[in-house]
Amino acid sequence: MLKHVDIYITHTIKGFVSDSAQYAYALMYKGEPRYGYGEVTKRITQNSLVLMVMGEAMGRMRCSCEITIYMNSPYIANAFCNGWTETWKKNGYEKAGGGKITDSARWEELMEKCAGHIIKVEYSERHELTGLLETGIRRGGIFEL
């Protein structure tokens, strides 16, 4: 039986793109959190940031797991839920009309990290750890009192 891990992602981008951003995530296993925090000081889209954070969190997995990822990016959630990620992988991250999909390198890296895991992605504007992660972001990555 695979271990189950929940990953919760929160960030500071309020629109589609921002000139800088902060993010935090929590890996929850058996009720015990492991936090991650970071800052981006260049222009970045919300989707690109979420892909980057997912990759960072997935990079912390040490064995095959069943993973549920909670995020506020409907596009990325739909890509997983609708099987687009597998189609893109089969097509070499190329668009049907030619050219690479947006963030193809991040997608490819993320999908390599997802290999061997069972991944479920849930979209939600706010999840159960949003408030805690937002507080950690405001404190510069400090999540404990």
Question: Does the pLDDT value for residue 145 go beyond 80?
Answer: no
Residue from 51, 52, 47, 38 nearest 18 by CA: 47
Return the half-sphere exposure (C-beta side, CA atoms, 13 A cut-off) of residue 90: 6
Strands annotated E in 12-96? 17-18, 21-29, 32-40, 44-45, 65-71
Distance of CA 26 to the CA centre of its chain: 11
Residue 109 C-alpha from the chain's centroid: 12
Tell me the pTM. Answer: 0.94
Angle at the Cα of 32 from the Cα atoms of 79 and 64, rounded to 5 degrees? 50
- 15-42 tens-digit pLDDT: 999 999 999 999 999 999 999 999 999 9
| pLDDT category of residue 56 using cuts at 50, 70 and 90 | very high
